[in-house]
Structure 1
Amino acid sequence: MSEVLRNAHFVVTVDHTARFVRVARTAEPFDSIEQIEQECQEIAEALAFFDRSALSLLLDIRAAPGRNDRRFEDATLRLRTAAVRGFARVAVLVRTSAGALQVQRHGREDGVHRLVSDDEDELLAYVTAAPLRLG
């Protein structure tokens, strides 16, 4: 795994051999919506040089402080959609069933399929599986 970004809220690594990006959320709470936007922009810039269609994405949000207030939800809809769009597969590692329900709702809202689980081995198998070949 190669680390491509680290800040107070995220650690982003890429496994070129297994062809997936891991974005792990830290336990540090955000101070503002502007801070969320800035750090999501940093992630987008760090991943801009990678071919998303050739990679899967594993989001590890187990350490993230719970938050679902309307202002936060509205601000992050655009950001999370941009963050996950284009990857071959998207998986989200959660700690709680409430977290899983929230992430599943996000998938319905933004139209990006995500496999959601609290089982890291299951998600690693999913994001590292060989791509489907048609024909």
Structure 2
Amino acid sequence: MPEVLRNAHFTVAVDPMARLVRVTRTAEPFDSLEQIERECMAVTAALAPVDRSAMSLLLDIRAAPGRNDPKFEEATLRLRTAAVRGFGCVAVLVGTPAGALQVRRHSREDGVDRIISDSEDELLAYLAAAPSRHR
């Protein structure tokens, strides 16, 4: 899958044939709220040319350091909504039950439905079937 962005915090790859965008969060912690904003805006910019309504998004956050302090949550609400809104289907790959709970809460807060699992195979199968079920 061709990469359109790679930095210390994210890798973004787009496969037009599979109609799939994959955003992978690395284990690198953020140093500041400003860095969060800058890196998330880079992801949003990398996704700008993508016709989101024709694509599914797989967000792999298994390696992401756990964090849910209020300042972080406030800073990321707008950013994560901008990154995921508009895709035909959104799937989130988590590594822990706590991660799944946090993603469910995010879904309630930002109104973007997501399927959540710790199984990459399950999510990829779901997304492969998404064009007939979700678009």
TM-score by length of 2: 0.96
Q: Structure 1: 5+ residue runs without aligned partners?
A: none
How far residue 10 of structure 1 moved from its aligned partner, in angstroms, is: 0.3
Q: How many residues align?
A: 134
Note closer, same or farther for the CA distance 1:130–1:74 as it changes in structure 2 (3 Å cut): closer
Whether 1:63 aligns to 2:66 is no
**Larger mean Cα displacement after TM superposition, 30-39 or 120-129:** 120-129
> Which amino acid is the alignment partner of residue 92 of structure 1?
V
Aligned to 1:76, the other structure's residue is in SS state helix
Give the corresponding residue for 2:109: 109
Note closer, same or farther for the CA distance 1:9–1:116 as it changes in structure 2 (3 Å cut): same
TM-score by length of 1: 0.96
| Rounded Cα–Cα distance in structure 1 between residues aligned with 2:130 and 2:22 | 17
| Rounded Cα–Cα distance in structure 2 between residues aligned with 1:9 and 1:95 | 17
Give the corresponding residue for 1:9: 9
Give the corresponding residue for 1:80: 80
Greater percentage in helix: 2
| Rounded Cα–Cα distance in structure 2 between residues aligned with 1:133 and 1:96 | 27
Give the corresponding residue for 1:131: 131
Aligned-pair identity (%): 75
Give the corresponding residue for 2:36: 36
